Amino acid sequence: MKRLIILKGEVETLDFFTERMTDYLRRICAEYIVVDTKNILDYEEQLLHFIEGGECVAFSFNNVGIDVTILSQNIWNRYGIPFFDFIVDHPSYFGDILLNPPCTTDVICLDKNHVDFVREFYPLIHNIWFVPNGGTELAGRIPYDERTIDVIYMGNCHEVNGFYQLPYLSIEASKDLFGYCIKRLLENDRLTVEETIKEYIGDDKNINKEHRLSIIQEAYLPIERYVRRQFKLRAMAALDKLGVSVDIFGDGWRDDVVIFSSNIKIHNRVSSREVLEKVSDAKISLCFIPWFKKGCSEKNFDSMLNGALCVSDRSEYLEQRYLDGNNIVFFDLNNPEQMAADVKFLLDNPKMAANVAQNGYDTAKRYDDWENRFRQILEIIDDV
């Protein structure tokens, strides 16, 4: 097994994932070092000593530490160390670093569409793999019938502060693009954001591949956030109308148009560990997958592994692994009323709900916890 340099230190959620990885590496007695990039100078001597031991690779989430330098040179490039980058957001967010990586970079994506995107737009990436996110199980699950939270949602509802002119497009064309893509995604939630942008641009010969990437990089996030916000607000409004009690832990949920009653309780965002403690006390966990149509995020698996019944929109990965009504309950983003009715039915039938939750736990434990993911990642690293 190759020796691992694990980089952390920029985002709390990513550091939490990194801790899960080091927990696993410790259990299997792997040789590794953790470097906090916020205090990189404090680790320089230790890091160089580890590198001298030979045959090591660097690993991080979302490019953390990929640009570490020593003597004005990228350290991974200087010592010929491959960098494995597990990207847990859309790869368009990291265009500059992936378009011109500072070292030999292998990318792991949590969505098959992201794999295709990297292949299309980032030709200098060495290798690309698909590995979904994993889930974390806390010790001491509360029995289903003793849980005090009916429904939990873990996450933000980002506001979009207007749209703007995109590169290589006029103001009018930019407005048209935003409007077109939002309309398409609200009508057909199985499309990806980049598919709708490409549809709008079409075969315009004045917009080359580099221009298309720039447009996607600028337009992706506001489009995704606007569309997801609409779906989330509609869903919460439907639950509120049926009198379902929901505890939300996240920011951005206040809205001037959609006003919730006291059924919808909005709490401040909490840390990754704290939110798992909350979901461990929830009967149902409502999951809106980030726009990962052929992958999944950690929230679904966190929910199942901590004993909550996962009620989620669909993705190709989840549909291949989970069965509606058996170990998960799927809903249609464009039918929030049916989702709310299903949630109310499950709350009114706790034995049935507890059975689905237990089946979800069993499936996620077998296939979708972080131990499964890190085992797969280490196999990838050792095969390169």
Q: What is the pLDDT along the chain (384 residues), one digit of tens a residue?
A: 899 999 999 899 999 999 999 999 999 999 999 999 999 889 999 999 999 999 999 999 999 999 999 888 999 999 999 999 999 999 999 988 999 999 999 999 999 999 999 999 999 999 999 999 999 999 988 999 999 999 999 999 998 877 789 999 999 999 999 999 999 999 999 999 999 999 999 988 889 999 999 999 999 999 999 999 999 999 999 999 999 999 999 999 999 999 999 999 999 999 999 999 999 999 999 999 999 999 999 999 999 999 999 999 999 999 999 999 999 999 999 999 999 999 999 999 999 999 999 999 999 999 999 999 999 999 999 998
Residues 45 and 157 in one domain: no
- For residue 206, the model assigns a pLDDT of 85
Residues 315 and 336 in one domain: yes
Per the structure, the complete domain to which residue 251 belongs is given by 144-163+222-368
Residues 89 and 155 in one domain: no
Q: How many structural domains are present in the chain?
A: 2
289: CB partners within 8 A, 6+ apart: 296, 297, 299, 300, 312, 313, 315, 318
Residues 125 and 269 in one domain: no
276-286 burial code (b ≥16 CB/10 A, e <16): bebbbbbbbbb
355: CB partners within 8 A, 6+ apart: none
Residues 118 and 155 in one domain: no
Residues 347 and 375 in one domain: no
Distance CA 377, CA 361 (A): 22
Residues 253 and 283 in one domain: yes
* CATH number of the CATH domain containing 340: 3.40.50.2000
Of the candidates 72, 18, 30, which has an alpha carbon nearest to the alpha carbon of residue 55?
A: 30
Asked whether 135 and 298 are in contact (CB, 8 A), the reply is: yes
Asked whether 306 and 279 are in contact (CB, 8 A), the reply is: yes
Is 33 domain-assigned? yes
316: CB partners within 8 A, 6+ apart: 112, 293, 294, 295
Is 180 domain-assigned? no
Residues 340 and 377 in one domain: no
- For residue 160, the model assigns a pLDDT of 81
Is the pTM for the entire model greater than 0.85? Answer: yes
Is 84 domain-assigned? yes
Is 196 domain-assigned? no
Residues 348 and 229 in one domain: yes
Coil/strand/helix, residue 105: strand
Structure tokens at 242: 């049926």
Instruction: List Cα–Cα distances, 379 to 15, 151, 153, 176, 267, in angstroms.
Output: 22, 37, 34, 46, 40
Is 98 domain-assigned? yes
Is 37 domain-assigned? yes
- For residue 203, the model assigns a pLDDT of 84
Residues 379 and 301 in one domain: no
Residues 93 and 151 in one domain: no
Structure tokens at 15: 């550091």
- For residue 71, the model assigns a pLDDT of 82
Residues 362 and 240 in one domain: yes
Coil/strand/helix, residue 130: strand
Asked whether 278 and 270 are in contact (CB, 8 A), the reply is: yes
Is 85 domain-assigned? yes
Is 129 domain-assigned? yes
Distance CA 345, CA 347 (A): 5
* CATH number of the CATH domain containing 91: 3.40.50
